[in-house]
Homo-oligomer: A and B are copies of this chain.
Amino acid sequence: MVTLEDVARHAGVSLATASRVLNGSTRQVGAPLRAKVELAAAELGYRTNVAAQTLARGASNVIGLVVHDLTDPYFAAIADGAMRVAESQGLMVMIGTTHRDPEREIAYVSTLNAQRVRAVLLVGSRVTDPRTTQRLRAELDRYRESGGRVACVGQDLLGVDTVVPDNRRGAAELARALAGLGHRNFAILAGPDWLIAPRDRVEGFAGALEELGLPAPRVLHGTFDREGGYAAATRTSGVTCVFAVNDVMAVGALASFRDRGVRVPEDVSVAGFDDISTLRDLVPSLSTVRLPLADMGARALELALGPSEEVRAEAVSGEVILRESSRGLG
């Protein structure tokens, strides 16, 4: 293993000079020595030892990204946005997937703290249990006390910079749009009730219906994935419009209806949330609420990396998009 000292010796200069040449320093090094060092490094095949560098500098060039599930296109899109920012700043990304287990999220923060990453990004809905949130917060505080920066994509519950999708309002606007089509009897394919994002979407949707003086929707809980949507959709008889709290569940619902010979949108309208791009070619195409996922990820990292004078929460609103899966009545 070639060390900086080897390079220095090979070039006939001091360790300090070699360091200054090879790893960006504010100090100038004369052209002749600089050339010698570069040549020596190339000849020996020198590669910086980042661990040593991190130790000496007291700061790393890595950021941590914690997501629920990388195979869920929602998270993949957000992660992609964040990674583009990271890359543009020359930062590497360390990633952890929790598979929706809050304990793992806490554990990852601890691990990333040990790694002394520059910043950590927590992507995904917070949970309703205040004790879990409290413990996560404590872990984050500890990390921040030692200089770590944190941002979150989700709900503003951690006392850190947060990009907050306006789930309530997006769902409410979707409800109004669907009601505008003439629908009166709704079912909501809700996610688990211990996750805040699906809960907010349910409340936003139901709240808007109430404001409009419409009957309360039937709320059917299920897992936050395709299977959950599939299962919940079997219990929607008598309803003209089904709102799945995310696109992936909506896909499950569509499959369920298809399997049972229920036509969409003739027999029932369906809408989702998120506007996952991989799903844009579904037939019938899915009405949904579009969230600028990649931007959200990018923005969150910018917040984490930016100045830290005050904690910011930036709301991002969704845009209702009606497509073929929903249609007017009569």
Contacts and interface: CB of A to CB of B under 8 A. Distances in A.
B92 A49 contact: no
B55 A83 contact: no
Interface string A241-279: 000000000011011001000000000000000000111
Interface residues of A, number: 50
A281 B278 contact: no
A142 interface: yes
Interface in A32-65: 45, 47-52, 54-55, 60, 62
B50 A116 contact: yes
A133 interface: no
A110 interface: yes
Among the interface residues A76, A96, A111, A147, which one has the most CB atoms of the partner chain B within 10 A? A76
Contacts of A281: 226, 251-252, 254-255, 282
Interface string A217-254: 00000000010000000000000000000000001101
A48 B55 CA distance: 12
Given A50-B115, A55-B52, A142 B92 contact: no
A283 interface: yes
A49 B114 contact: yes
A25 interface: no
A4 interface: no
A92 to B, nearest CB: 5
Nearest to A73: B278
A94 B92 contact: yes
Contacts of A93: 94-96
A169 to B, nearest CB: 26
A167 interface: no
A218 B146 CA distance: 62
Contacts of A26: none
A277 B142 CA distance: 40
A31 interface: no
Interface of A: 1-2, 45, 47-52, 54-55, 60, 62, 69-71, 73, 76-77, 79-80, 83, 87, 92-97, 110-111, 113-116, 142, 146-147, 226, 251-252, 254-255, 258, 277-279, 281-283
Closest 7 CB pairs of A and B: A51-B54, A283-B283, A51-B55, A48-B114, A50-B115, A71-B80, A255-B281
Given A1-B146, A47-B113, A255-B281, 7 more contacts: A49-B114, A51-B115, A52-B55, A83-B97, A95-B95, A258-B283, A281-B282
14 contacts: A2-B146, A47-B114, A47-B146, A51-B51, A70-B79, A70-B80, A71-B77, A71-B277, A73-B76, A92-B115, A251-B281, A278-B278, A278-B279, A281-B282
